[in-house]
Structure formats: structure tokens, C-alpha cells
A = this chain, B = another copy of it.
């Protein structure tokens, strides 16, 4: 099943899980004619080459961006400012510059000022991923049935935004437009704070003296292992997310802590009613997520048949 070409030349700055998946999906759907891939290290480039992710691999991001119709920044968000400054002089008039960063307000501030007039700047964020990273983690169906959020500035060119929307739809996603600040608040609670908490509980377990690591590992089926999946996500990407979405994360974390204090107090004073009431309410939310098609009752979140790394590492 191939669609019509949406962008002649696609430049991917970064060929990790997301960049590689965009390349594989765009080629499979026939959405681009040519894919240029830039990656910082020779090691990653060699992997990408062996997997035939892109058609060519220039030595610099600037060279990769040259003449491209769509440039996608797909590196950790902390690198965006320098990358934008580097590639700006090479961006061709009429090109669209987008990104896949998990934070949007700071990214707009970091990237916006470098973008020359005549280049369309449309920030984006596909809500899709796995705990694996690198080019080998990419797969063509990653975005199918997932949401992609675009946060175009008020002055954005409607035709350019609509074109990028059609690209994401052709990759299999549903697209929503949103204000950047609101995006950062939504993602703080649905993604950033959950990751922080998962990293934290795994770290707490790792520090215990009374309970050994081997006990934690042995008995992890009791609940702990559910947290370890997302706590295995890319450390640099997530460091940058937290540094760049500080305000929204601290706000949501404050609420999380208040709510946790309530449960902690209920445990201390033996208030079973409060515990049961909270635990009953949360059950309904999972049902809603399953009904919305963002989850299945299957414990694999419907990714079982899709993610090749998961399947091959059995």
C-alpha cells in the first residue's frame, strides 16, 4: 500500500527509534523519494547503513538539511538549539522544519529564532515509542493507531501545516493540533511524571540494603517489573525532557506528591475507606483507555505483533 509522494526529499537529523521508524514507514508508504539521514556517531551510522534506513548519510547535519523539503529533528531535545543554528543557512525556501521532541515550549524558543524567513516551522510530537533505542529499534508500524500532536505557532502557514498533517496521517497516526504550553502540561502527566516515577522506584529498589537486588529481581512479578519497562528508556533523551519541561513536570509532581501523602496518611491511620475508594476509581480509567483503542486488555498494550525487537528478544 503506497500513497503519493508528499515530500520529495526527507532529511532526518537523528536515526534513533523515532527517526529510523519515520524513514522505514515513509519509504514503505511511498511518501518521499529520497531519504537523507544524519547521525552523530560512526557506530550509529554503520548500523543505519546496514539496515538500509536512509539513502545517503552526509557527514554533517547542515549537509543533510541542504535542499530537503522536510527536515525532522529527531535527537534529544537538548541538542535542538545548536542543530537549528547549524542547519539554518542550508534550509531551502519553502521547506518545512519539524521535530519529534517530547517538549514543545522550550523547543519553540530554542529553534524558532534560527529559522530563516520562507521556511515553515511546525513543531510536532508523535506519542509513540518503546523502551528500546537506536536505529535497530525502529519499525515501520510504530506510528499506526497512535496520536501525533502538532503545535504550530499562530502565524504558521496553513498549507505547510496541512501538508505535515497529511504526512503523519500517511504514517498511520491520528493528528491533533494543540497549543505548545498545553501540550507540555498534557505530556507532563501522561508521560513525563510516569517516567520519572518509574525511574525512581527502580532506583529506590536498587539502593536497598535489607532487600537484596537478587530478591528484587526474583520477585519482580509482584508489580515492580511493570515499572522497569519504561525505566529502561533512553537516559539522555529523558534527561533533556525533564530539563526542558521543568515547570509542568514540577507542577504535576507536586500534585502527585500531595495525593501520595493522602494515601500514606490513610495507611498510617488505618483508613481503609479512603484506600478502597481511590483504588476503585482508578479501575475505571484503565477500561476507558482500552475502549479508546490506546490499549488492549492484553498486557502487551497491543504492541506484541509489532515491535520486532521485543519479538526477537524472547
Contacts and interface: CB of A to CB of B under 8 A. Distances in A.
B208 A189 contact: yes
Contact of A223 (B191, B285, B298): B191
Contact of A190 (B220, B233, B296, B313): B220
A50 interface: no
Contacts of A281: 203, 206
Contacts of A311: 298
How big is chain A's contact interface, by range? 35 or more
A288 to B, nearest CB: 5
Given A220-B190, A226-B198, A203 B278 contact: yes
A236 B267 CA distance: 14
A267 B250 CA distance: 8
Given A197-B201, A206-B285, A268-B246, A211 B232 contact: no
Interface of A: 78, 102, 127-131, 146-147, 149, 176, 182, 185-187, 189-208, 210-211, 213, 215-233, 235-236, 238-240, 242-243, 246, 249-250, 252-253, 255-257, 259-260, 263-264, 266-268, 270, 272, 275-276, 278-283, 285-290, 292, 294-301, 303-304, 307, 309-311, 313-314
